[in-house]
């Protein structure tokens, strides 16, 4: 047994100034959406080159609201990847549209753009691309496909705050771009999300959808003209978000350093020797939200991932898995999806593991993880 403390695969790191800022909000007499939310939205908007940004209480409802603003509903098809958090596909069903999947690329583990284009039909209205682990897609090709077929894009950039494509921040360009501030994300506000929009008009509609469709005017004027919900972020959450967001550059830089150290420690012969697959070695564009290996199948027929996770845990190292293929979950099987439809996603979804990666981790921690991985995968 390991003598060192258990190393989780992810851990939120909240500094004392942020904790104090939350205390200030709690003492202020205004604990729901207010000045902190406005300040957070203003900072995010500046970060994304001045584009309109609105915050919400999750990164899931941000995508649902984007689909509603785009007018997507019953009879429409939306294409996404089978390897994401189930939220990505659920929001399509939530607005009454049909979820369509396209298989992933085995190297990037993101949606395969050739297969995406092949899945387009006359009913396709939108694409929800996902940047798994923070690794962007080929954005030129993605937007080229959308333009050619007249499709909206709702980028599920939940994992990609701080990532970029050819020097442009994810969120600073494109159509709708959705981020999550859930507890495990690079920047958290405990729970929350934000949506980057294209115009003041879309931002106004987003405000309605997040609060019961309400428009206020004068001292006591109130009207409702669209069916909205209750998706507003609180000032408590925004205070956490502001404190976290101030560290975005340092957080991203440290994660890239950790990722680089992972590659150094695994060494050039790791894949050939152990049969596991490393992620693409991108140290300029990805924000390294996750560091993911695809494990080899086991010769003895035992389930490779469960066995690996159990042995790593015994060595004091936490391992996550992101994600099981969405199309094989019961809700989606009921809609006609089954094994064999997306073979790459099915293999990756069965064998992918997320190794520890968070902003207070040290390079010593990385060395400990790599030693454990090699010990566990040793024949």
Ligand X SMILES: *Cc1c(COP(=O)(O)O)cnc(C)c1O
Contacts with ligand X by CB under 6 A lie at 58-60, 84-85, 87-88, 130, 156, 158-159, 180, 182, 193
Q: Can 185 be counted among the known catalytic residues?
A: yes
Q: In this complex, which beta carbon is closest to ligand X, that of residue 132 or of residue 239?
A: 132
Three-class DSSP labels, the chain: CCCCCCECCCCCCCCHHHHHHHHHHHHHCCCCCCHHHHHHHHHHHHHCCCCCEEEECCHHHHHHHHHHHCCCCCCCEEEECCCCCCHHHHHHHHCCCEEEECCECCCCCCECHHHHHHCCCCCEEEEECECHHHCCCCHHHHHHHHHHHCCEEEEECCCCCCCEECCEECCCCCCEEEEECCCCCCCCCCCCEEEECCCHHHHHHHHHHHECCEEEECCCEEEECCCCCECCCCHHHHHHHHHHHCCHHHHHHHHHHHHHHHHHHHCCCHHHHHCCECCCCCCCCCCCCCEEEECCCCCCCCCHHHHHHHHHHHCCECCECCCCCHHHCHHHHCCCCCCCCCHHHHHHHHHEEEECCCCCCCHHHHHHHHHHHHHHHCC
- Which residue among 36, 125, 185, 208 is the active-site one? 185
Between the CA atoms of 183, 187, 193 and 196, what dihedral angle is there, to the nearest 10 degrees?
A: -160
Q: Minimum distance between the CB of residue 323 and ligand X, rounded to whole angstroms?
A: 8
Give dist(CA 250, CA 208) in Å, integer: 35
- The residue nearest ligand X at its CB is 59
Give dist(CA 204, CA 198) in Å, integer: 11
Q: Minimum distance between the CB of residue 300 and ligand X, rounded to whole angstroms?
A: 33
Sign for the CA dihedral angle at 242, 247, 248, 252 comes to negative
Q: Minimum distance between the CB of residue 284 and ligand X, rounded to whole angstroms?
A: 21
Q: Minimum distance between the CB of residue 252 and ligand X, rounded to whole angstroms?
A: 16
Q: In this complex, which beta carbon is closest to ligand X, that of residue 65 or of residue 377?
A: 65
Query: Largest Cα–Cα distance in the chain?
Result: 73
Q: Minimum distance between the CB of residue 131 and ligand X, rounded to whole angstroms?
A: 8
Q: Minimum distance between the CB of residue 368 and ligand X, rounded to whole angstroms?
A: 26
Residue 217: CB atoms within 10 A of its CB come to 8
Cis peptide before 303 (omega within 30 of 0): no
Q: Minimum distance between the CB of residue 6 and ligand X, rounded to whole angstroms?
A: 23
Q: In this complex, which beta carbon is closest to ligand X, that of residue 158 or of residue 366?
A: 158
List residues with catalytic annotation: 185
């Amino acid at each position: 047994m390991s003598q060192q403390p258990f190393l989780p695969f992810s851990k939120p790191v909240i500094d004392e100034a942020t904790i104090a800022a939350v205390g200030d909000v709690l003492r202020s007499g205004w604990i729901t959406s207010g000045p902190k939310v406005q300040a957070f939205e203003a900072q995010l908007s500046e970060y994304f080159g001045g584009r309109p940004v609105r915050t919400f209480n999750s990164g899931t409802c941000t995508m649902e609201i984007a689909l509603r603003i785009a007018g997507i509903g019953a009879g429409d098809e939306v294409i996404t990847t089978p390897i994401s958090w189930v939220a990505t596909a659920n929001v399509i069903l939530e607005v009454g549209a049909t979820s369509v999947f396209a298989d992933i690329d085995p190297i990037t583990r993101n949606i395969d753009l050739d297969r995406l284009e092949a899945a387009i039909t006359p009913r396709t209205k939108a694409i929800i691309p996902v940047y798994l682990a923070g690794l962007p897609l080929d954005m030129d090709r993605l937007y080229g496909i959308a333009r050619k077929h007249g499709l909206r894009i709702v980028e599920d950039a939940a994992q990609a705050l701080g990532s970029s494509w050819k020097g442009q921040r994810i969120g600073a360009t494109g159509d709708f771009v959705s981020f999550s501030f859930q507890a495990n994300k690079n920047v958290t506000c405990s729970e929350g999300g934000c949506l980057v929009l294209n115009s003041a008009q879309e931002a106004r509609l987003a405000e309605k959808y997040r609060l019961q469709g309400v428009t206020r005017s004068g001292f006591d004027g109130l009207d409702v003209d669209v069916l909205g919900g209750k998706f507003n972020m609180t000032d408590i959450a925004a205070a956490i978000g502001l404190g976290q967001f101030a560290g975005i550059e340092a957080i991203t830089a440290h994660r890239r350093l950790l990722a680089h150290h992972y590659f150094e420690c695994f060494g050039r012969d790791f894949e050939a020797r152990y049969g596991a697959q490393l992620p693409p070695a991108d140290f300029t564009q990805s924000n390294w939200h996750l560091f993911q290996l695809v494990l080899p199948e086991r010769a003895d027929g035992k389930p490779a991932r469960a066995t690996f996770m159990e042995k790593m845990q015994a060595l004091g190292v936490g391992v996550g898995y992101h994600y099981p293929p969405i199309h094989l979950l019961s809700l989606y099987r009921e809609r006609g999806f089954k094994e064999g439809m997306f073979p790459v996603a099915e293999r990756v979804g069965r064998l992918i593991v997320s190794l520890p990666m968070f902003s207070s981790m040290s390079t010593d921690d990385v060395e400990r993880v790599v030693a454990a991985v090699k010990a566990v995968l040793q024949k």
